[in-house]
Structure 1
Amino acid sequence: MGEVPSIFVRRSSGLVREVYPKDSFIYNVYFTAYFTALVFVYLIALYVVPAEALVPGLILSTFLFAFQVLVYSLMSIAMPRSGGDYVIISRALHPLLGFISSWNWFIWLAFWFAFGGYTFSSVALSTMFLTLGLVTGNQSLVSIGDMLAEPIPALIVGTLIMLAFLAMTSFGLGKFIKIQLITFIIGFIGILIGAIYLALCDPRTYAETLNRLISQYTGTSDSYNAIINAAKGLGWGPERVYSYTAEHLIKVLPAAYLAIPWTMGTVFIAGEVSQPKRAQLVGGIGGLAFIGGLTVILAFLLEKAMGIEFFSAFSYLFYNPPQDLSIPIQPYFNTLAFLIIENPFLNIWANLGFIFLGWMYMAQNLLNDSRLLFAWSFDRLIPEKFAEVSERFKSPIYALLTVFIIAEIFLFAIIFVPELQVISSIMALSFSVIIMSLAAIFFPYRKRDLFERSGINWKVAGIPLISLLGLASLIVNLISNYYWITDPNYGAVNDISVTAMLLVIVVGILIYLFGIYRLKRKGIEPSKIYTELPPV
């Protein structure tokens, strides 16, 4: 009779701890896909609540999202292993829930890696050339911007940028961290350039600039007021700007969910994080404060510079496009902000800031998905090949390549099946957060010994703090889900999104059951795997 294999693939993960607190902060900021998502945060929020509720609603949302971020940060401190919520939930709650939650993350991170490739061309580069062409009066640049939004250029550019990120992450996490720091510095300076221009601008100056730049396209010398009047003709009015209620502040939460609460990317690479307690808290809560604070500041500056009524009216036209007014730009916050930067050099730098803080998340998605494959493989749930780590680069090359191939398939689908572009994964990701919140609630009671040794064994009135945070995170996510389900204006629920979410879950269950079957065929009792943490 053959020898029963060991529980785990090997006695050491082979991964190296080379992510420090400052690296964790930038990694988590990038993981939010910040500027890519922020475009829609403002558009959705301004469509569902009066514009005056935007800034205070974003402040409230940032504070409420702290519960979710703390849950992920503290649970990763208790179980500092690469593999995201898979390792945590499978040990704290149940292996099936751990795999389903992490499989859900895996698919949607791969999808958003591909979506990033598509929008890198159709949004990032396209709007950069468009705004640069408008401020310089160069029609050729405007034409290039339009061309980059076409399917074939988007496929070519998307594939190239995805290959670039594959190469960037394959040479090891340590080398990527250095690239990450350089791009963040460049990007942050770009943000400052845009913020300063907005701070120095007022509605009158903005209107004059806008009218000068786009009048040849709109056919009117007063495009600023033409946009407001077009919105009025389609049902927009003062009630969409003024007089908000307490519920309006809460209704900003589901919109803000797109960008703000995701500063927990280092949970997926926790086994490669040095000084985990400090790094996870600095990266998680520090990243949340940065993202939330910047979102509030930019919203305030945009309203101040453009005029709150114009900001609201133009955003309204995104969902109700006028038939009798041709507008060459979309009401994306970056386009609206960069139009007033008429110095070409500074305009390009500001656009680079938008690109780096909007699309560097693609690297995090690739890295984090590879660590999920690694963790499943290390537990022998999927073939052991995915747990192999390059001796030279200390990186799971096969896992990275697999994620790239899956994402490339998604890229083709997104571009040539336009219906997929309306998929909303926000409820799907919230599903995983809800499971993680439940794991946090029950962790101290189901794994008492591990909890007491974890370094997060704090209690409030005899109740574990992590359980209270898990409950608060659960409530915040249920509130968001309530509004997504009951208010179609959020765009979170449509037939294709619900079908995709359910299909991902069903496929995940089947893969898990097959993995358990494989383990038993090899003579390994699955329960033995999930009673202990994988080796460091």
Structure 2
Amino acid sequence: MEKPTVFVRRASGIVRSASPTDAMMFNYNSVNLGYTLFLCMMVLTLPGAILVGSLILTILLIVPFLLVYAFFTAIMPRSGGDYVFVSRTMRRVFSWGPLLGFMGNASVWLAEIIFLAIQSLWVPTIYMSSAFATLGYLTGNTIFISWAHLLTTPRFSLVIALIVIIGIGLTMLPGIKFHLRFQWLLWIVGMLGAIISILVLWSVFLGGGHNAFVNAFNEFALRHMGPDAYNQILVSLEKDFNFTAMPPDPRWTLFATGALFTSFGYAYFSTYYAGEIREANLVKNQIYSMFTPVFLILVVTLLIIIPLQSIAGSVFLGGTQLISLIAAESWPLPVMPSVFFFIGLLIENPILNIIVQISGVAWNLLICAILFPMLTRCIFAWSFDRVFPEKLAAVDTRFHSPYAAVIFITILAGFLATLFTFWREATELAYIAVYGASGIMIVTAFLFVSIAAILFPFVMKDIYQVSPVSKYKVGKFPLMSIVGVASTAVMLMFAYMYFTIPELGIAASPMAQLIVATTIIVATVVYLIAKVVQRFRGIDLSIVYAQIPPE
């Protein structure tokens, strides 16, 4: 019998068809303008947080974190991203080091597969429903209103969710380049809506200002709340929720970065399919693809948030978001508050309003889309290393796509979406898992990769010295280690926030804490089983982790 090779194959079977600009667009979609605007509304619920200050501070804090990923990706541009980085680095530190790479990567993977299922259900029940409701009530179109209600019913929402999951899965089968064309299309739609929103908001800001927004809101709410609805809501916020204007608080401005990190921090996401990006070994390309979207999203967000905050009022924006989060049943209007709803109130042209509302749906479809490459490539990387079944590393010879992993993720996400639709307890557990996901990722994935960056130039000196990163030094000390130290400090700070501040993390949820512990235990058990099984087959996984996977 032929002795098994170290890896499943001597070549991955995947080709580099995506460009650095494709990766930049992908990371823009990963940070995601729609999700960032939602988080900005969330920040306004925190007492005394200065939103613009929190946005700028978040960017400064994630610089070392993104440099860690940029450096590692340039050194080891392979499918699986941080799984490969940490497992190979920590293997040089101690024999069980590869477990840390798998544990961290698996924790991110678990959170994201659950989030993919939930997000696919949110597309019809929240985003499409809100878009149709906004357009329906603004134009008096009863068909749109009936569609808005239909989209929230369990069976219909599940059908749409499955169409989203299967549809995106189908775009993955012809290869990453084809899938990225699909993302480019959604990105163009999303950006068209963003440009219209910016022009509308600044025209109102420079024209009618606050009174124009109040009048537009009151006109919409008149038949539901009577006259002066805007001030009715402000009075209710103070009386029923003790929510009112607070003096600026630097402490909460800092704490808000913990929430904003969950959008801007995702600018590294192209690392998971780096094995399919041309010239991914160039540091300048990694910096371009990761940092450009961060600054572009920051600029676009500020261009939307600054005028909106001025004309609508911080208390109104934060307060309406608070009601939607903790007392949605008491919201008096048929459309839940959101940035796209408030912008829609200011647009008189129905065509422009349709574009803006569709753009809101496009941004949220993109959240589902960016998760597929990450989820499938991690599965592929684990299987290629023989930690998962080898069949999941199968690649189509025509399209060079890991079709088995794509089919697996599509089926699993569809199953979870069905489960969450009809089993209430599973849905509640899934929400808790996602709620605690930030804590899991900080502690296991991002912290481990930051520590690995500190050690890499010293424990993998043979690879580091011939890498494009070795020329970046401060004096004689590797810049990679310096940014690793800084990133570790930032990740520890975020971990402290998530584990101690109920508004941000898992401190208030014992179940979320249990999920964190369970994730670590399950990942360890899976790794141990793989190690034992492969040893029986005559394969030592420690030898696998002694090498960088082939291209």
Shorter-chain TM-score category? over 0.9
From 522, 527, 530, the counterpart of 2:537: 522
Cα gap change, 1:60 to 1:325, in 2 (>3 Å)? closer
Which letter maps to 1:364? I
Question: May I ask how many residue pairs the two structures share in their alignment?
Answer: 530
From 426, 437, 440, the counterpart of 1:428: 440
Say yes or no: does 1:262 pair with 2:251. Answer: no
CA contact (8 A) 1:199 1:305 kept: no
Corresponding residue for residue 114 of structure 2: 111
From 150, 155, 178, the counterpart of 1:147: 150
* Deviation (angstroms), 1:232: 1.2
* Deviation (angstroms), 1:37: 5.5
CA distance in 1, matches of 2:99, 2:307: 46
**Secondary structure, counterpart of 1:14 in structure 2:** coil
Q: Deviations over 1:211-259 (max 9, x none)?
A: 11122122x211111111110112445543xx31332321221121221
From 423, 431, 456, the counterpart of 2:469: 456
CA distance in 1, matches of 2:155, 2:15: 40
CA contact (8 A) 2:45 2:319 kept: no
Which letter maps to 1:181? W
Cα gap change, 1:319 to 1:178, in 2 (>3 Å)? closer
Cα gap change, 1:250 to 1:158, in 2 (>3 Å)? same
From 28, 46, 51, the counterpart of 1:54: 51
Q: Deviations over 1:253-275 (max 9, x none)?
A: 11212211101121001111111
Cα gap change, 1:422 to 1:339, in 2 (>3 Å)? farther
Say yes or no: does 1:484 pair with 2:498. Answer: yes
Which letter maps to 2:53? P
* Deviation (angstroms), 1:319: 4.4
**Secondary structure, counterpart of 1:502 in structure 2:** helix
CA distance in 1, matches of 2:328, 2:85: 50
**Secondary structure, counterpart of 1:489 in structure 2:** coil
Q: Deviations over 1:157-177 (max 9, x none)?
A: 101111100111111111122
Say yes or no: does 1:23 pair with 2:22. Answer: yes
* Deviation (angstroms), 1:510: 0.9
CA contact (8 A) 1:62 1:288 kept: yes
Cα gap change, 1:222 to 1:247, in 2 (>3 Å)? same
Corresponding residue for residue 284 of structure 1: 290
CA contact (8 A) 1:66 1:288 kept: no
**Secondary structure, counterpart of 2:333 in structure 1:** coil
Corresponding residue for residue 250 of structure 1: 254
* Deviation (angstroms), 1:320: 5.1
Corresponding residue for residue 93 of structure 2: none
Which letter maps to 1:421? Y
Q: Deviations over 1:254-304 (max 9, x none)?
A: 121221110112100111111112432211111211223333332212202
Query: RMSD of aligned C-alpha atoms?
Result: 1.9
CA contact (8 A) 1:25 1:286 kept: yes
CA distance in 2, matches of 1:300, 1:76: 35
CA distance in 2, matches of 1:305, 1:33: 24
CA distance in 2, matches of 1:107, 1:309: 36
Q: Deviations over 1:113-139 (max 9, x none)?
A: 112211111112011101101210224
* Deviation (angstroms), 1:491: 5.2
Say yes or no: does 1:215 pair with 2:190. Answer: no
CA contact (8 A) 1:34 1:358 kept: no
**Secondary structure, counterpart of 1:488 in structure 2:** coil
**Identity over aligned pairs, percent:** 26
CA contact (8 A) 1:231 1:316 kept: no
CA distance in 2, matches of 1:508, 1:237: 42
Structural mapping, 1:255-404, within 5 Å: 255-276=259-280, 277=282, 278-319=284-325, 321=327, 326-404=332-410
**Secondary structure, counterpart of 2:337 in structure 1:** coil
Say yes or no: does 1:206 pair with 2:213. Answer: yes
Which letter maps to 2:481? S
CA distance in 2, matches of 1:3, 1:393: 29
Corresponding residue for residue 75 of structure 2: 78
CA distance in 1, matches of 2:66, 2:489: 14
- When structure 1 is superposed on structure 2, of 182-191 and 262-271 the one drifting more is 182-191
TM-score, structure 1 as length reference:
0.94
CA distance in 2, matches of 1:58, 1:373: 33
CA contact (8 A) 2:131 2:361 kept: no
From 100, 104, 109, the counterpart of 2:103: 100
Cα gap change, 1:319 to 1:11, in 2 (>3 Å)? closer
* Runs of 5+ unmatched residues, structure 2: 91-96
* Deviation (angstroms), 1:324: 7.2
CA distance in 2, matches of 1:361, 1:326: 29
Cα gap change, 1:49 to 1:478, in 2 (>3 Å)? farther
CA contact (8 A) 1:59 1:296 kept: no
CA distance in 2, matches of 1:125, 1:137: 17
Corresponding residue for residue 89 of structure 1: 86
CA distance in 1, matches of 2:329, 2:116: 34
* Runs of 5+ unmatched residues, structure 1: none
Cα gap change, 1:224 to 1:378, in 2 (>3 Å)? same
CA distance in 2, matches of 1:237, 1:179: 42
- When structure 1 is superposed on structure 2, of 136-145 and 207-216 the one drifting more is 136-145
* Deviation (angstroms), 1:208: 0.9
CA distance in 1, matches of 2:152, 2:354: 19
**Secondary structure, counterpart of 2:265 in structure 1:** coil
Say yes or no: does 1:194 pair with 2:197. Answer: yes
Which letter maps to 2:258? P
**Secondary structure, counterpart of 2:263 in structure 1:** coil
CA distance in 2, matches of 1:524, 1:124: 49
CA contact (8 A) 1:57 1:253 kept: yes
Corresponding residue for residue 163 of structure 1: 166
Which letter maps to 1:466? M
Corresponding residue for residue 4 of structure 2: 5
Corresponding residue for residue 43 of structure 2: 45
Say yes or no: does 1:475 pair with 2:489. Answer: yes
CA distance in 2, matches of 1:364, 1:286: 17
Cα gap change, 1:33 to 1:509, in 2 (>3 Å)? farther
CA distance in 1, matches of 2:331, 2:121: 28
Cα gap change, 1:422 to 1:507, in 2 (>3 Å)? closer
Cα gap change, 1:250 to 1:222, in 2 (>3 Å)? same
Corresponding residue for residue 180 of structure 1: 183
Which letter maps to 1:32? V
**Secondary structure, counterpart of 1:258 in structure 2:** helix
CA distance in 2, matches of 1:450, 1:513: 28
CA distance in 1, matches of 2:345, 2:415: 35
CA distance in 2, matches of 1:446, 1:414: 45
